Structure 1
Amino acid sequence: MEVNQVDSASSIYYNPQDKLQPPKKELDKDAFLQVLVAQLRYQNPMSPMDQDQFMSQMTQITALEQIMNLNKSMETLLQTEELSLAANLVGKQVTVVGQDGRDVEGSVEKLIINENGIKVVINGTPYDYDTVKEIRG
């Protein structure tokens, strides 16, 4: 007869430290739904949740989801607007604040767009878009 050993690596409860997620600082709709499901699961069967209260919570979830969708749309609109404004800088003379705090003047050669935001390239050096302090035609 073959005996199978079960160790912590094959346990369903195994969770290596590098896979732990930092705690959330804000409650999102998933957390809200988890609370609602827990309320339904552990409610007293002799005194079930009031229908009006349940509908009120479902309405709150829907409103929360719509607000989150609106927030994402506004962020996308803001990023698009910022990119459009930055694109208009290509070829223009600008003054930016360098890393040493001194003003750098020159023509914007191109834009670099990555996860760190938008950078304007002047004389081969990238500067954050938000360091632009003067634009000349």
Structure 2
Amino acid sequence: MTTIIPGTARSTAMEQKTMTSGQSSANNTILGKDDFLRLLVTQLANQDPTNPMEDREFIAQMAQFSSLEQMNNVANEIRGLRRMLSLSSDLIGATVEWHDGGDSLRSGVVDAIVLRDGEPFIVIGDEEITYDQIVRITRTASEEPPAAEDPPAPEEPQDEGGELNDG
């Protein structure tokens, strides 16, 4: 990797370019792949021609870039899966109508949601249907909690007719 000495014209130019590219990510506080590429291009453009970046270093940086992109893709997939599972779990107990592959329309109550190869399937009885088959989703009115009974009135003291001793 190229060593930059602070205070030189080369380091000042690189710092200005990286600061400009860093401003776009300053709001996010996370360096993204665009920032990484800008930094790499700036580094390559400002390297010493008599001492170019070694191939190993360049390959290592590209591998880091590839790893960063893959980690971002995995994080996005996990977010999507979490969102999908959250929405799917809300269907449990709902009545759905779906096309069974022909012209007929069927309905049933969703028992469960299962994942097969990353795709959700809605389980109704012994059948598994996809979201594409659903025509309508109906939620039944949930049972209201039983009305709270009025608390019993406090018992009033009964006078047994006895005398009180001063005492």
Task: Give TM class, smaller chain.
Answer: 0.5 to 0.7
2:64 matched residue in structure 1:
62
Conservation of the 8 A alpha-carbon contact between 1:112 and 1:120: yes
The 8 Å contact of residues 95 and 106 in structure 1, kept in 2 or not, is answered as: yes
> Does 2:86 align with 1:84?
yes
CA RMSD of aligned residues (A): 2.6
Q: Percent identity?
A: 17
Change (3 A) 1:74 1:57: same
TM-score (normalizing by structure 2) = 0.44
1:117 CA displacement: 2.8
Distance 1:103 1:122 in 2: 14
Q: Which has the higher strand share?
A: 1
Name the residue aligned to 1:128: 130
Aligned in 2, Cα 1:116/1:54: closer, same or farther, shift over 3 Å? closer
1:71-110 map, 5 Å:
71-100=73-102, 102-110=104-112
SS at match of 2:93: coil
**5+ unaligned residues in a row in structure 1: which ranges?**
1-48
Q: Which structure ranks higher in relative contact order (CA pairs < 8 Å, sequence separation ≥ 6)?
A: 1
Distance 1:108 1:54, change over 3 A: same
Cα distance in structure 2, aligned partners of 1:121 and 1:113: 10
Indicate which of 104, 111, 114 corresponds to 1:112. 114
How high is the TM-score relative to the length of structure 1? 0.52
1:86–1:129 contact (8 Å) kept in structure 2: no
- 1:64-122 residue CA offsets vs partner (Å, 9 max, x unmatched): 11001111111122112111111110111112232335432222122233436321122
Distance of aligned partners of 1:93 and 1:52 in 2 relative to their CA distance in 1, 3 Å threshold: same
Q: Which runs of 5+ in 2 are unaligned?
A: 1-50, 140-167
